[in-house]
Amino acid sequence: MRPISTRARALTAAAAVSVVAGAGAVAMSTEASAAAGCRVDYSVNQWSTGFTGNVTVTNLGEAISGGWNLTWAWSGNQTITQGWSATITQSGANVTAANPSWAASLGTGATANFGFNANYSGTNTAPATFKLNGTACTGTVPSGSASPSASVSTSPSTSVSPSVSPSTSTNPGVKVDNPYAGAKGYVNPEWKAKADAEPGGSRISSNPTAVWLDRIAAIEGTDSSSSNGSMGVRDHLDAALAQGAGYIQFVIYNLPGRDCAALASNGELGPNDLPRYKSEYIDPIAAIEADAKYKNLRIINIVEIDSLPNLVTNTSGQAGGTAMCDTMKANGGYVQGIGYALNKLGALSNSYNYVDAAHHGWIGWDSNFGPTADIMLEAAKASGSVNNVTGFITNTANYSALREPYIQPSVTVGGQSIRQSKWIDWNQYSDELTFAQAFRTKLVSIGFNNNIGMLIDTSRNGWGGSARPTAASTSTNVDTYVNESRIDRRIHAGNWCNQSGAGIGERPKAAPEAGIDAYVWVKPPGESDGSSTLIPNDEGKGFDRMCDPTYTGNARNGNSMSGALPNAPISGAWFSAQFQQLMTNAYPAL
C-alpha cells in the first residue's frame, strides 16, 4: 500500500450486508411469468445521510419471458433519488424495480443487477422481504411450486448476515483501498496471441493489459470463429475467472463526440447521442459487470480517455481549439456522460473507477492544471458523489517518460532555469511521476477523498535503446542541455501518435511509489494510435495528420514534425513494426 491513508474509502463506510429475504403467503402475478423461486443479494455503501444500494436477483425457477419486477418495502424513511439498470418507482415505503427495456427476460439461473442512490436519516435497515414477480425470494424453490401459475405460501423467515466492520472485513463486496495490490492481473488472450506471434513477443505477452471498449459492438464482441472475431465483455470476464485473475481492466471509451480534438480517435456517437451512450453503452456494460458470478473479481474501469482535459485546453481561445470541443463543452455531454458512467459503475461492489487525467505535457502548466482538476470534480459531482472515483490515470496511450533524472524544472544551467527551454516551455513538470503525485495532491485539496490513488500507463514510455541519455549534458545552453539530457526523445512533448523511437516502460506493478496505485499497461503495446493515411472503416475513426510522418505540425505541437511512424493502421489495429520497436527500446531492457 502507498504510505497515505489506508482507511476504507467513504464509499464503504458502512458494513456490506447480504440479505436472503422470506415472506408470507403471496399470489402470483398473471401479467408476466412468475418465478417459482429466487434469491436476492443486497448490499449498501453508506455515509451519514445517504447510501448507494446494489441489488442482484437470481431466478431459481422457470424462465421469465414477459418482463420482471422486484418489490420490497422499507422499514425506515429511505427515499430513492436515482436508479440504474432498472426502472425504479417508490410510493411511500413501497419500492418497485422493473426490468430495463433491453433485459426483459430472466432465464433459469440467470441474474439481473441494478442499483440506486437514496437518502435516509436515523437507521438504514435492509428490507426484510423481496418479491420477484410477486413470489417471495427465499433463496430456494418451494416444493410444489414448479408451476408458474400456482400460489405460494412460505413461513416468514429472514436471514441477514451480521454486520462487518469495513476496516477488518474480508467480504469480497467491500472495496479495497488499492485494487491492484496483492492481485493477479488478467492477461487478454487476444492481445497475447498477437504478441506471441511476433518474434520475441513471448517475453512480454504474459503481462496484464486493458481491454478497450471503444464502440457498442465491443460489448457483445463479434463472431469469434471468423478472422475478425473478437471477445465481448462477458467473454473477457469469464476468461479472467478461468485464469484465476484477481483484477481485470476495461477502458470505457465511447463518449458522444469522442475526442473532440483528435480525428484518429473519434468515435461512433455524435455530439447529441448522450441518451444512446447511457442506454446502449454504459447500461449494458454495468449489467454484465454486475453479474454475481464475477463478485470476487476486481473490475477496474478506466473512464473516457482525453475527454475532460479537452474542455480546458482545446476550446475557443486556445491554440488549436476546435468547434467540436466547443460543442461538447456547451452541451455538457462529456461531464454528464462521465458522471453517468461513474454513477452506474461505481455502484457495483467490486468495480473501481479511474478517470483519465491526460499527462504532464498537456496540463502541467498552471493555466491548465487547476482548471482540469476542477472539471474532474464537476464530473464526479455529476455522478452523485466523489466516492464513485477510486482514482485517476495519467499518460494513457501516451509516451511521457516516467522519470527525467536530469531535467527537473528546478535545474539551472548557466544561471538560467531550464523551464525556459523550448522543450519544457515553462511547464511545471517534466515527467509523469512528479506530475501524477502533484495532481493527486491537487485533487484531494479540492474535495476528492484523501486516499484516491493514481495510475500511470507505462506501456510505451521507456525510451531505452542507444539513444537513451546516461548522464546530464555539459552544455551551458538551456536548449542544448535539455535536448541532450532528456529521456523522452520525441520531437515535441505534444506529439502523441505512434512515436518513433519509443520503448516499453516499467512492467505492470502495484503500489510502486507514494500515491501511485500501480504502473499499468492500459494501451496494449502493438496497438496503433491512428493511421498514417486515410483508411476507410466502419468504426468512426478518422485520419489525423498527427499520425502522418510527413506532417509539419500545428499550434498544439509548436509546428513541429509529428514524429509518427509510417504505414500505421487505424487506431486499435495491430501494428507489428511498432511492437518490434517497443521491444527493442524497452527500458528496463527485456
Q: Does the annotation list 220 as a binding residue?
A: no
Cα distances (Å, whole numbers) of residue 317 to 248, 311, 364, 583? 40, 11, 18, 40
Q: Is 306 among the catalytic positions? A: yes
CB 248 within 8 A of CB 299: yes
CA angle 387, 391, 392 (to 5 degrees): 135
Rounded distance between C-alpha atoms, residue 412 and residue 206, angstroms: 43
Q: Judging by DSSP bridges, how do beta strands 391-394 and 453-457 pair with one another?
A: parallel
Q: Binding residue per annotation — 295? A: no
Instruction: Tell whether residue 360 is among the known ligand binding residues.
Output: no
Nearest-angstrom CA–CA distance, 244 and 190:
17
527 annotated ligand binder? yes
Residue ranges with strand state E in 281-403: 298-303, 351-356, 391-394
Q: Would you mind telling me the total number of residues written for the chain in this entry?
A: 590
Q: Is 291 a catalytic residue?
A: no
214 is in an annotated binding site: yes
**Catalytic-role residue among 283, 306, 431, 544:** 306
312 φ, ψ (degrees, to nearest 5): -95, -40
Query: Residue 144 corresponds to which cell in the numbers above?
Result: 410444489
Give the whole-angstrom CA distance, residue 559 versus residue 577.
26
For 13-142, list the strands marked E by DSSP: 19-21, 38-46, 50-59, 69-73, 79-84, 87-91, 94-98, 111-119, 130-132, 135-136
Is 523 annotated for ligand binding?
Answer: yes
Active-site pick, 177, 291, 529, 548: 529
Asked if 398 and 457 touch (Cβ cutoff 8 Å), the reply is yes
The active-site residue out of 259, 356, 488, 544 is 259
Cβ burial of 244 (10 Å; 0-12, 13-18, 19+) is exposed
User: Is the Cα dihedral 182, 184, 186, 191 positive or negative?
Assistant: positive
Pairing of strands 130-132, 69-73: antiparallel
Determine whether the annotation assigns residue 192 to a binding site.
Answer: no
Is 529 annotated as catalytic?
yes
Beta partners for 46?
Answer: 51
The C-alpha torsion from 44 through 45 and 47 to 53, rounded to 10°, is -50
Q: Give the phi and the psi of residue 113 in degrees, each rounded to 5.
A: -130, 140
Q: Which residues participate in the annotated binding site for substrate?
A: 212, 214, 359, 362, 398, 496, 523, 527
Active site residues: 259, 306, 529
